[in-house]
Chain A
Amino acid sequence: MTSERMVRLSIKRQASPDSRSYVEEFAIPYRPNMNVTGALMEIRKNPVNAKGEKVEPVVWESVCLEEVCGSCSMLINGKPRQACSSLIDQLEQPIRLAPLSSFPIVRDLMVDREQLFDALKRVHAWIDIDGPFDLGPGPRMPEHTRRWAYELSKCMTCGCCLEACPNVNPKSNFMGPAPIQQVRLFNAHPTGKMNKEVRLSEIMKSGGITSCGNSQNCVEVCPKSIPITTSIAHLNRETTVQSFKDFFGGGF
Protein backbone atom coordinates (compact mmCIF):
# COMPACT_ATOMS: atom_id res chain seq x y z
CA MET A 1 0.00 0.00 0.00
CA THR A 2 2.72 2.48 0.93
CA SER A 3 4.64 1.91 -2.31
CA GLU A 4 1.53 2.65 -4.36
CA ARG A 5 1.69 5.76 -6.58
CA MET A 6 -0.64 8.46 -5.29
CA VAL A 7 -2.30 11.53 -6.79
CA ARG A 8 -2.30 14.54 -4.48
CA LEU A 9 -5.15 17.02 -4.62
CA SER A 10 -5.70 20.26 -2.76
CA ILE A 11 -9.39 21.18 -2.89
CA LYS A 12 -11.06 24.41 -1.86
CA ARG A 13 -14.25 23.42 -0.06
CA GLN A 14 -17.29 25.15 1.33
CA ALA A 15 -20.19 23.38 3.05
CA SER A 16 -22.91 25.88 2.08
CA PRO A 17 -23.27 29.19 0.21
CA ASP A 18 -22.76 31.19 3.42
CA SER A 19 -20.19 29.16 5.31
CA ARG A 20 -16.44 29.76 5.35
CA SER A 21 -14.25 28.14 2.75
CA TYR A 22 -11.24 25.97 3.60
CA VAL A 23 -8.67 23.91 1.73
CA GLU A 24 -8.51 20.16 2.21
CA GLU A 25 -5.78 17.81 0.98
CA PHE A 26 -6.49 14.42 -0.51
CA ALA A 27 -4.28 11.59 -1.76
CA ILE A 28 -5.83 8.92 -3.96
CA PRO A 29 -4.35 5.91 -5.74
CA TYR A 30 -3.07 6.66 -9.25
CA ARG A 31 -4.55 4.99 -12.32
CA PRO A 32 -3.24 5.48 -15.86
CA ASN A 33 -5.17 8.00 -18.03
CA MET A 34 -7.05 9.32 -15.04
CA ASN A 35 -8.84 12.68 -15.34
CA VAL A 36 -9.88 15.11 -12.61
CA THR A 37 -13.46 13.79 -12.69
CA GLY A 38 -12.08 10.27 -12.10
CA ALA A 39 -10.07 11.55 -9.16
CA LEU A 40 -13.16 13.21 -7.68
CA MET A 41 -15.13 9.98 -8.14
CA GLU A 42 -12.36 8.18 -6.26
CA ILE A 43 -12.79 10.62 -3.36
CA ARG A 44 -16.54 10.03 -3.42
CA LYS A 45 -15.94 6.29 -3.23
CA ASN A 46 -13.68 6.66 -0.24
CA PRO A 47 -14.07 10.13 1.32
CA VAL A 48 -10.96 10.18 3.48
CA ASN A 49 -8.63 13.18 3.47
CA ALA A 50 -4.83 13.08 3.40
CA LYS A 51 -4.72 13.04 7.21
CA GLY A 52 -6.79 9.83 7.19
CA GLU A 53 -9.93 11.50 8.56
CA LYS A 54 -13.31 10.50 7.21
CA VAL A 55 -14.95 13.61 5.67
CA GLU A 56 -18.02 14.57 3.66
CA PRO A 57 -17.42 13.65 0.00
CA VAL A 58 -16.48 16.55 -2.28
CA VAL A 59 -19.45 17.87 -4.25
CA TRP A 60 -19.07 18.79 -7.93
CA GLU A 61 -21.23 18.79 -11.06
CA SER A 62 -20.77 16.75 -14.19
CA VAL A 63 -23.03 15.43 -16.91
CA CYS A 64 -21.52 14.51 -20.26
CA LEU A 65 -17.93 13.57 -19.28
CA GLU A 66 -16.74 14.56 -22.77
CA GLU A 67 -16.39 18.35 -22.68
CA VAL A 68 -19.64 19.29 -24.36
CA CYS A 69 -21.95 20.18 -21.45
CA GLY A 70 -19.76 22.60 -19.51
CA SER A 71 -21.08 21.63 -16.08
CA CYS A 72 -17.80 20.38 -14.57
CA SER A 73 -16.03 23.73 -15.08
CA MET A 74 -13.77 24.65 -12.17
CA LEU A 75 -10.43 26.27 -11.48
CA ILE A 76 -7.79 23.61 -12.01
CA ASN A 77 -4.35 24.84 -10.96
CA GLY A 78 -5.70 28.36 -11.23
CA LYS A 79 -7.13 28.09 -14.76
CA PRO A 80 -10.82 27.73 -15.60
CA ARG A 81 -11.43 24.48 -17.48
CA GLN A 82 -13.43 21.25 -17.41
CA ALA A 83 -12.61 18.47 -14.93
CA CYS A 84 -13.49 15.80 -17.51
CA SER A 85 -10.92 16.93 -20.08
CA SER A 86 -8.15 17.66 -17.57
CA LEU A 87 -5.80 14.67 -17.45
CA ILE A 88 -3.94 13.97 -14.21
CA ASP A 89 -0.76 13.11 -16.12
CA GLN A 90 -0.65 16.62 -17.57
CA LEU A 91 -1.16 18.47 -14.29
CA GLU A 92 1.33 19.66 -11.73
CA GLN A 93 0.73 18.14 -8.28
CA PRO A 94 -0.73 18.77 -5.81
CA ILE A 95 -3.58 19.53 -8.18
CA ARG A 96 -5.35 22.63 -6.91
CA LEU A 97 -9.12 22.55 -7.42
CA ALA A 98 -11.39 25.50 -6.63
CA PRO A 99 -14.90 26.56 -7.66
CA LEU A 100 -15.33 29.23 -10.35
CA SER A 101 -15.22 32.58 -8.55
CA SER A 102 -17.58 34.45 -10.87
CA PHE A 103 -20.67 32.51 -9.82
CA PRO A 104 -22.43 31.97 -6.47
CA ILE A 105 -21.15 28.83 -4.71
CA VAL A 106 -23.67 26.09 -3.95
CA ARG A 107 -21.28 23.70 -2.25
CA ASP A 108 -17.58 22.77 -2.66
CA LEU A 109 -16.86 22.84 -6.42
CA MET A 110 -20.50 23.27 -7.44
CA VAL A 111 -21.57 26.75 -8.55
CA ASP A 112 -24.84 28.27 -9.74
CA ARG A 113 -24.47 29.37 -13.37
CA GLU A 114 -28.04 30.61 -13.66
CA GLN A 115 -27.00 34.18 -14.52
CA LEU A 116 -25.51 32.79 -17.73
CA PHE A 117 -28.76 31.13 -18.74
CA ASP A 118 -30.73 34.24 -17.77
CA ALA A 119 -28.45 36.28 -20.04
CA LEU A 120 -29.14 33.86 -22.92
CA LYS A 121 -32.86 34.45 -22.41
CA ARG A 122 -32.23 38.18 -22.30
CA VAL A 123 -30.44 38.24 -25.66
CA HIS A 124 -33.10 36.10 -27.38
CA ALA A 125 -30.62 33.24 -27.96
CA TRP A 126 -33.01 31.07 -29.92
CA ILE A 127 -34.68 31.03 -33.34
CA ASP A 128 -38.41 31.65 -33.59
CA ILE A 129 -39.98 28.96 -35.74
CA ASP A 130 -43.43 28.66 -34.21
CA GLY A 131 -46.46 30.59 -35.38
CA PRO A 132 -50.26 30.32 -35.24
CA PHE A 133 -50.15 28.71 -38.69
CA ASP A 134 -47.64 26.76 -40.76
CA LEU A 135 -44.83 29.18 -41.51
CA GLY A 136 -43.41 26.99 -44.28
CA PRO A 137 -39.74 26.24 -44.85
CA GLY A 138 -37.28 28.96 -43.87
CA PRO A 139 -34.59 30.43 -46.12
CA ARG A 140 -31.54 28.28 -46.80
CA MET A 141 -28.33 28.88 -44.91
CA PRO A 142 -25.28 29.32 -47.14
CA GLU A 143 -22.70 26.58 -46.58
CA HIS A 144 -19.94 29.11 -45.96
CA THR A 145 -21.98 30.74 -43.17
CA ARG A 146 -22.93 27.38 -41.71
CA ARG A 147 -19.27 26.47 -41.40
CA TRP A 148 -18.20 29.41 -39.25
CA ALA A 149 -21.51 29.56 -37.39
CA TYR A 150 -20.95 25.95 -36.37
CA GLU A 151 -17.80 27.03 -34.53
CA LEU A 152 -19.84 29.59 -32.55
CA SER A 153 -22.49 26.96 -31.77
CA LYS A 154 -19.89 24.94 -29.84
CA CYS A 155 -20.42 27.22 -26.83
CA MET A 156 -21.52 25.06 -23.89
CA THR A 157 -22.14 27.96 -21.45
CA CYS A 158 -19.36 26.56 -19.26
CA GLY A 159 -18.53 29.99 -17.80
CA CYS A 160 -14.74 29.92 -18.37
CA CYS A 161 -14.85 33.19 -20.34
CA LEU A 162 -16.82 34.94 -17.60
CA GLU A 163 -14.36 33.63 -15.03
CA ALA A 164 -11.33 35.06 -16.87
CA CYS A 165 -12.98 38.37 -17.83
CA PRO A 166 -11.77 41.25 -15.63
CA ASN A 167 -15.05 43.08 -16.25
CA VAL A 168 -17.26 40.27 -14.92
CA ASN A 169 -17.37 40.79 -11.15
CA PRO A 170 -19.76 41.91 -8.41
CA LYS A 171 -19.01 45.61 -9.09
CA SER A 172 -20.09 45.34 -12.72
CA ASN A 173 -23.33 44.26 -14.39
CA PHE A 174 -21.57 43.01 -17.54
CA MET A 175 -23.37 39.90 -18.85
CA GLY A 176 -20.05 38.48 -20.04
CA PRO A 177 -18.62 37.26 -23.35
CA ALA A 178 -20.60 34.01 -23.85
CA PRO A 179 -24.15 35.41 -24.18
CA ILE A 180 -22.90 38.28 -26.37
CA GLN A 181 -21.16 36.02 -28.84
CA GLN A 182 -24.36 33.93 -29.09
CA VAL A 183 -26.06 36.97 -30.61
CA ARG A 184 -23.74 36.67 -33.59
CA LEU A 185 -24.61 32.98 -33.94
CA PHE A 186 -28.37 33.52 -33.97
CA ASN A 187 -28.15 36.65 -36.14
CA ALA A 188 -26.17 34.64 -38.70
CA HIS A 189 -29.03 32.18 -39.15
CA PRO A 190 -31.33 33.14 -42.05
CA THR A 191 -34.45 32.68 -39.91
CA GLY A 192 -32.82 34.01 -36.74
CA LYS A 193 -31.85 37.15 -38.67
CA MET A 194 -35.54 38.14 -38.68
CA ASN A 195 -35.13 39.04 -34.98
CA LYS A 196 -31.71 40.61 -35.38
CA GLU A 197 -32.67 44.02 -34.00
CA VAL A 198 -34.23 42.48 -30.89
CA ARG A 199 -30.91 40.85 -30.01
CA LEU A 200 -28.82 43.90 -30.91
CA SER A 201 -31.08 46.15 -28.83
CA GLU A 202 -30.58 43.93 -25.83
CA ILE A 203 -26.78 43.95 -25.94
CA MET A 204 -26.88 47.74 -26.38
CA LYS A 205 -28.41 48.12 -22.93
CA SER A 206 -26.48 48.57 -19.68
CA GLY A 207 -24.28 45.55 -18.94
CA GLY A 208 -24.15 44.75 -22.65
CA ILE A 209 -21.45 44.88 -25.27
CA THR A 210 -19.87 48.22 -24.34
CA SER A 211 -18.92 46.78 -20.93
CA CYS A 212 -16.27 44.78 -22.80
CA GLY A 213 -12.80 46.15 -21.98
CA ASN A 214 -10.88 44.26 -24.69
CA SER A 215 -8.67 42.26 -22.33
CA GLN A 216 -9.34 39.33 -24.69
CA ASN A 217 -8.89 36.79 -21.88
CA CYS A 218 -12.13 35.10 -23.01
CA VAL A 219 -10.72 33.89 -26.31
CA GLU A 220 -7.58 32.64 -24.57
CA VAL A 221 -9.40 30.46 -22.04
CA CYS A 222 -12.31 29.21 -24.20
CA PRO A 223 -12.07 25.38 -24.14
CA LYS A 224 -13.88 25.18 -27.50
CA SER A 225 -11.57 27.75 -29.17
CA ILE A 226 -14.53 29.90 -30.20
CA PRO A 227 -13.41 33.19 -31.83
CA ILE A 228 -15.20 35.19 -29.12
CA THR A 229 -13.29 38.44 -29.66
CA THR A 230 -14.01 38.34 -33.39
CA SER A 231 -17.70 37.93 -32.56
CA ILE A 232 -17.60 40.82 -30.10
CA ALA A 233 -15.81 43.10 -32.59
CA HIS A 234 -18.31 42.10 -35.29
CA LEU A 235 -21.21 42.93 -32.96
CA ASN A 236 -19.51 46.23 -32.11
CA ARG A 237 -19.81 47.05 -35.80
CA GLU A 238 -23.41 45.83 -35.94
CA THR A 239 -24.45 47.85 -32.90
CA THR A 240 -22.66 50.96 -34.22
CA VAL A 241 -24.55 50.64 -37.52
CA GLN A 242 -27.78 49.97 -35.60
CA SER A 243 -27.31 53.19 -33.59
CA PHE A 244 -26.90 55.20 -36.78
CA LYS A 245 -29.94 53.55 -38.36
CA ASP A 246 -32.06 54.15 -35.28
CA PHE A 247 -31.05 57.79 -34.93
CA PHE A 248 -30.73 58.96 -38.53
CA GLY A 249 -33.15 56.48 -40.04
CA GLY A 250 -32.61 53.95 -42.78
CA GLY A 251 -33.05 50.70 -40.88
CA PHE A 252 -35.82 48.16 -40.62
Chain B
Amino acid sequence: METTKGMGRTENFLRKLHSLSGLIPIGVFLTVHTLVNSSAIWGEEAYNVAAGVMVNLPYKLFLETFVIFVPLLFHGILGIWIALKAKNNVRQYTYVRNWGFFLQRLTGFIMFAFLVWHVWQTRVQAEFGVEPGFSMMADIVANPVFLALYIVGIVASMFHFANGIWTFLITWGITVTPKSQKVSKYATMGIFVVLSVIGVLAILAFA
Protein backbone atom coordinates (compact mmCIF):
# COMPACT_ATOMS: atom_id res chain seq x y z
CA MET B 1 0.00 0.00 0.00
CA GLU B 2 2.99 2.31 0.59
CA THR B 3 3.60 2.66 -3.11
CA THR B 4 0.04 3.79 -3.86
CA LYS B 5 0.08 6.30 -1.03
CA GLY B 6 -1.02 9.67 -2.33
CA MET B 7 -1.84 8.30 -5.78
CA GLY B 8 -5.18 9.01 -7.43
CA ARG B 9 -5.92 11.77 -5.01
CA THR B 10 -6.15 14.67 -7.48
CA GLU B 11 -9.91 14.93 -7.07
CA ASN B 12 -9.65 14.76 -3.27
CA PHE B 13 -7.08 17.57 -3.31
CA LEU B 14 -9.02 19.73 -5.77
CA ARG B 15 -12.26 19.34 -3.80
CA LYS B 16 -10.59 20.39 -0.54
CA LEU B 17 -8.90 23.28 -2.35
CA HIS B 18 -12.24 24.22 -3.93
CA SER B 19 -13.82 24.48 -0.50
CA LEU B 20 -10.90 26.50 0.89
CA SER B 21 -10.66 28.82 -2.12
CA GLY B 22 -14.23 29.96 -1.50
CA LEU B 23 -13.04 31.43 1.81
CA ILE B 24 -9.45 32.32 1.05
CA PRO B 25 -9.05 34.34 -1.07
CA ILE B 26 -12.54 34.70 -2.61
CA GLY B 27 -14.57 35.14 0.59
CA VAL B 28 -12.04 37.56 2.03
CA PHE B 29 -12.12 39.59 -1.18
CA LEU B 30 -15.94 39.53 -1.24
CA THR B 31 -16.05 40.89 2.32
CA VAL B 32 -13.47 43.63 1.69
CA HIS B 33 -15.19 44.56 -1.59
CA THR B 34 -18.57 44.82 0.17
CA LEU B 35 -17.20 46.89 3.03
CA VAL B 36 -15.41 49.28 0.67
CA ASN B 37 -18.60 49.67 -1.35
CA SER B 38 -20.61 50.39 1.77
CA SER B 39 -18.65 53.63 2.10
CA ALA B 40 -21.12 54.87 -0.55
CA ILE B 41 -23.70 55.02 2.23
CA TRP B 42 -21.77 58.08 3.50
CA GLY B 43 -21.81 59.74 0.12
CA GLU B 44 -20.01 60.04 -3.19
CA GLU B 45 -16.86 61.56 -1.76
CA ALA B 46 -16.40 58.88 0.91
CA TYR B 47 -16.84 56.19 -1.73
CA ASN B 48 -14.40 57.70 -4.17
CA VAL B 49 -11.74 57.92 -1.44
CA ALA B 50 -12.25 54.28 -0.32
CA ALA B 51 -12.54 52.90 -3.86
CA GLY B 52 -9.58 55.04 -4.91
CA VAL B 53 -7.35 53.17 -2.46
CA MET B 54 -8.36 49.87 -4.04
CA VAL B 55 -8.00 51.15 -7.61
CA ASN B 56 -4.53 52.53 -6.90
CA LEU B 57 -3.14 49.53 -5.01
CA PRO B 58 0.44 48.71 -5.98
CA TYR B 59 0.92 45.49 -7.98
CA LYS B 60 -2.80 45.76 -8.84
CA LEU B 61 -2.65 43.56 -11.94
CA PHE B 62 -0.79 40.83 -10.05
CA LEU B 63 -3.19 40.98 -7.11
CA GLU B 64 -6.26 41.01 -9.36
CA THR B 65 -5.01 38.01 -11.26
CA PHE B 66 -3.94 35.78 -8.39
CA VAL B 67 -6.25 36.93 -5.60
CA ILE B 68 -9.39 37.40 -7.69
CA PHE B 69 -9.56 36.06 -11.23
CA VAL B 70 -7.63 32.78 -11.08
CA PRO B 71 -9.26 31.61 -7.81
CA LEU B 72 -12.70 32.71 -9.07
CA LEU B 73 -12.34 30.81 -12.34
CA PHE B 74 -11.01 27.73 -10.55
CA HIS B 75 -13.82 27.81 -7.97
CA GLY B 76 -16.51 28.63 -10.53
CA ILE B 77 -15.61 26.08 -13.17
CA LEU B 78 -15.00 23.23 -10.71
CA GLY B 79 -18.18 24.28 -8.89
CA ILE B 80 -20.28 23.95 -12.05
CA TRP B 81 -18.78 20.49 -12.64
CA ILE B 82 -19.71 19.50 -9.06
CA ALA B 83 -23.22 20.98 -9.26
CA LEU B 84 -24.00 19.20 -12.52
CA LYS B 85 -23.25 15.85 -10.86
CA ALA B 86 -26.07 16.21 -8.34
CA LYS B 87 -29.64 14.96 -8.65
CA ASN B 88 -31.46 17.53 -6.57
CA ASN B 89 -34.27 16.02 -4.54
CA VAL B 90 -35.61 18.77 -2.28
CA ARG B 91 -39.19 17.94 -3.17
CA GLN B 92 -38.83 14.40 -1.87
CA TYR B 93 -36.50 15.18 1.05
CA THR B 94 -37.55 18.55 2.47
CA TYR B 95 -34.93 18.74 5.25
CA VAL B 96 -33.35 22.14 5.94
CA ARG B 97 -29.83 20.92 5.11
CA ASN B 98 -31.00 19.46 1.80
CA TRP B 99 -32.40 22.88 0.92
CA GLY B 100 -29.00 24.30 1.84
CA PHE B 101 -27.38 21.82 -0.57
CA PHE B 102 -29.78 22.84 -3.36
CA LEU B 103 -29.47 26.59 -2.70
CA GLN B 104 -25.66 26.36 -2.59
CA ARG B 105 -25.74 25.05 -6.16
CA LEU B 106 -28.46 27.45 -7.32
CA THR B 107 -26.71 30.53 -5.86
CA GLY B 108 -23.46 29.27 -7.39
CA PHE B 109 -24.99 29.43 -10.87
CA ILE B 110 -26.53 32.85 -10.12
CA MET B 111 -23.15 34.11 -8.89
CA PHE B 112 -21.35 32.84 -11.96
CA ALA B 113 -23.70 34.67 -14.32
CA PHE B 114 -23.78 37.75 -12.09
CA LEU B 115 -20.01 37.99 -11.85
CA VAL B 116 -19.44 37.65 -15.60
CA TRP B 117 -21.92 40.50 -16.12
CA HIS B 118 -20.57 42.56 -13.21
CA VAL B 119 -16.93 42.28 -14.34
CA TRP B 120 -17.97 43.18 -17.89
CA GLN B 121 -19.88 46.27 -16.75
CA THR B 122 -17.23 47.57 -14.36
CA ARG B 123 -13.67 46.26 -14.68
CA VAL B 124 -13.75 45.68 -18.43
CA GLN B 125 -15.50 49.01 -19.13
CA ALA B 126 -12.85 50.76 -17.01
CA GLU B 127 -10.27 49.22 -19.33
CA PHE B 128 -12.22 50.70 -22.26
CA GLY B 129 -11.90 54.16 -20.76
CA VAL B 130 -14.96 54.60 -18.56
CA GLU B 131 -13.89 56.44 -15.41
CA PRO B 132 -14.27 54.04 -12.45
CA GLY B 133 -15.96 55.63 -9.46
CA PHE B 134 -19.27 56.54 -7.94
CA SER B 135 -20.80 57.80 -11.19
CA MET B 136 -20.02 54.54 -13.02
CA MET B 137 -22.11 52.53 -10.58
CA ALA B 138 -24.78 55.23 -10.34
CA ASP B 139 -25.20 55.08 -14.12
CA ILE B 140 -25.64 51.29 -14.02
CA VAL B 141 -28.19 51.11 -11.20
CA ALA B 142 -30.16 54.05 -12.61
CA ASN B 143 -31.81 51.26 -14.61
CA PRO B 144 -34.27 49.62 -12.15
CA VAL B 145 -33.86 46.21 -13.81
CA PHE B 146 -30.10 46.36 -13.32
CA LEU B 147 -30.60 47.46 -9.71
CA ALA B 148 -32.90 44.47 -9.06
CA LEU B 149 -30.39 42.11 -10.69
CA TYR B 150 -27.63 43.57 -8.51
CA ILE B 151 -29.67 42.99 -5.36
CA VAL B 152 -30.37 39.38 -6.39
CA GLY B 153 -26.69 38.87 -7.23
CA ILE B 154 -25.50 40.34 -3.92
CA VAL B 155 -27.89 38.34 -1.73
CA ALA B 156 -27.13 35.10 -3.65
CA SER B 157 -23.40 35.74 -3.24
CA MET B 158 -23.71 36.27 0.49
CA PHE B 159 -25.70 33.07 0.94
CA HIS B 160 -23.20 31.10 -1.12
CA PHE B 161 -20.32 32.51 0.92
CA ALA B 162 -21.96 32.00 4.34
CA ASN B 163 -23.24 28.50 3.60
CA GLY B 164 -19.85 27.75 2.05
CA ILE B 165 -18.15 28.60 5.35
CA TRP B 166 -20.46 26.09 7.05
CA THR B 167 -19.59 23.33 4.58
CA PHE B 168 -15.88 24.27 4.62
CA LEU B 169 -15.81 23.68 8.38
CA ILE B 170 -17.13 20.15 7.77
CA THR B 171 -15.11 19.41 4.63
CA TRP B 172 -11.87 20.22 6.42
CA GLY B 173 -12.93 18.30 9.51
CA ILE B 174 -13.13 21.27 11.86
CA THR B 175 -16.78 20.94 12.97
CA VAL B 176 -17.37 17.24 13.60
CA THR B 177 -20.07 17.03 16.27
CA PRO B 178 -23.73 17.88 15.55
CA LYS B 179 -23.48 20.56 18.24
CA SER B 180 -20.54 22.35 16.62
CA GLN B 181 -22.29 22.12 13.24
CA LYS B 182 -25.37 23.69 14.77
CA VAL B 183 -23.42 26.56 16.33
CA SER B 184 -21.57 27.16 13.05
CA LYS B 185 -24.94 27.13 11.24
CA TYR B 186 -26.22 30.01 13.39
CA ALA B 187 -22.92 31.87 13.09
CA THR B 188 -22.77 31.55 9.29
CA MET B 189 -26.42 32.48 8.86
CA GLY B 190 -25.61 35.56 10.96
CA ILE B 191 -22.79 36.36 8.51
CA PHE B 192 -25.27 35.91 5.63
CA VAL B 193 -27.74 38.40 7.14
CA VAL B 194 -25.13 41.00 8.10
CA LEU B 195 -23.27 40.92 4.76
CA SER B 196 -26.55 40.96 2.80
CA VAL B 197 -27.77 44.04 4.67
CA ILE B 198 -24.46 45.85 4.16
CA GLY B 199 -24.30 44.81 0.50
CA VAL B 200 -27.87 45.84 -0.31
CA LEU B 201 -27.55 49.17 1.55
CA ALA B 202 -24.34 49.79 -0.41
CA ILE B 203 -25.92 49.23 -3.82
CA LEU B 204 -28.99 51.28 -2.83
CA ALA B 205 -26.65 54.14 -1.96
CA PHE B 206 -25.83 54.44 -5.67
CA ALA B 207 -29.46 54.39 -6.78
Partner of A209 from the list B12, B87, B178 (CB cut-off 8 Å) is B12
Q: Check A215 against B101 for contact (C-beta < 8 Å).
A: yes
Q: A206 is contacted by which of B8, B98, B171, B177 (Cβ under 8 Å)?
A: B8
CB distance from A98 to the nearest CB of B (A): 11
Is B172 part of the binding interface, using a Cβ–Cβ cutoff of 8 Å?
Answer: yes
Q: When A166-B98, A169-B87, A201-B5 are in contact, do A78 and B92 touch as well, CB less than 8 Å?
A: yes
Chain A interface, DSSP helix/strand/loop, else mixed: helix
Residues of B within 8 A of A5 (CB): none
Residues in A neighbouring B82, C-beta threshold 8 A? 213
A62 within 8 Å of B by Cβ?
Answer: no
A interface footprint on B73-111 (CB within 8 Å = 1, 0 otherwise): 000000000101111110011010110111010000000
Question: 8 Å CB contacts to A: which residues of B7-43?
Answer: 8-13, 15-16
Q: What separation, in Å, do the CA atoms of A220 and B93 have in the docked complex?
A: 9
Establish whether residues B95 and A236, one from each chain, have CB atoms under 8 Å apart when the complex forms: no
Q: How far is the CA of A169 from the CA of B89 in the complex (A)?
A: 11
Does B12 lie within 8 Å of A217, measured CB to CB? no
CB-CB under 8 A from A236, the residues of chain B are: 170-173, 176
B3 to chain A, nearest CB (A): 11
Query: Within the assembled complex, what's the spacing in Å between the Cα atoms of A215 and B8?
Result: 25
Whether the Cβ atoms of B178 and A227 lie closer than 8 Å is yes
State whether the Cβ of B122 lies closer than 8 Å to any Cβ in chain A. no
B98–A204 contact, CB under 8 A?
Answer: no
Residues of B within 8 A of A247 (CB): 6
Instruction: Please tell me if the beta carbons of A201 and B93 are within 8 angstroms of each other in the complex.
Output: no
* A241, B104: Cα distance in complex, Å: 26
Residues on the B chain within 8 Å of A166, using CB:
86-89, 98, 101-102
A residues 224-252 touching B (CB-CB < 8 Å): 227, 229-230, 232-241, 243, 246-247
Given A166-B101, A215-B97, A229-B178, also A204-B89 (CB < 8 A): no
Among A216, A221, A233, the residue within 8 A (CB) of B176 is: A233
Q: With A and B bound together, what is the CA distance between A142 and B61 in angstroms? A: 58
Report if B174 contacts A (CB, 8 A).
yes
Bound complex: CA A240 to CA B89 (Å): 29
A214 CA to B96 CA in the complex, in Å? 11
**Chain B residues with CB under 8 A of A169:** 85-87
Enumerate chain B residues within 8 angstroms of A208, measured Cβ to Cβ: 12
The CA-CA distance from A204 to B12 in the complex, in Å, is 6
Which residue numbers of A lie inside 8 Å of B, CB to CB?
Answer: 78, 164, 166-167, 169, 171-172, 197-198, 201, 204-206, 208-217, 220-221, 227, 229-230, 232-241, 243, 246-247
Question: 10 closest pairs, A vs B, by CB?
Answer: A237-B173, A210-B15, A215-B101, A236-B173, A216-B97, A169-B87, A233-B176, A172-B85, A204-B12, A206-B11
B residues within 8 Å of A by Cβ? 1, 4-6, 8-13, 15-16, 82, 84-89, 92-93, 95, 97-98, 100-102, 104, 166-167, 170-178, 181
- Offer 27 A-B interface pairs, CB within 8 angstroms, sorted by A: A171-B85, A172-B86, A197-B1, A197-B5, A198-B1, A201-B5, A205-B8, A205-B12, A206-B10, A206-B11, A206-B12, A210-B11, A210-B12, A212-B171, A214-B166, A215-B97, A216-B98, A217-B93, A227-B178, A229-B170, A229-B181, A234-B173, A236-B171, A237-B173, A240-B172, A243-B12, A246-B6
Given A197-B1, A243-B13, 6 additional A-B pairs, CB 8 A: A206-B8, A206-B11, A210-B16, A212-B171, A216-B98, A233-B170
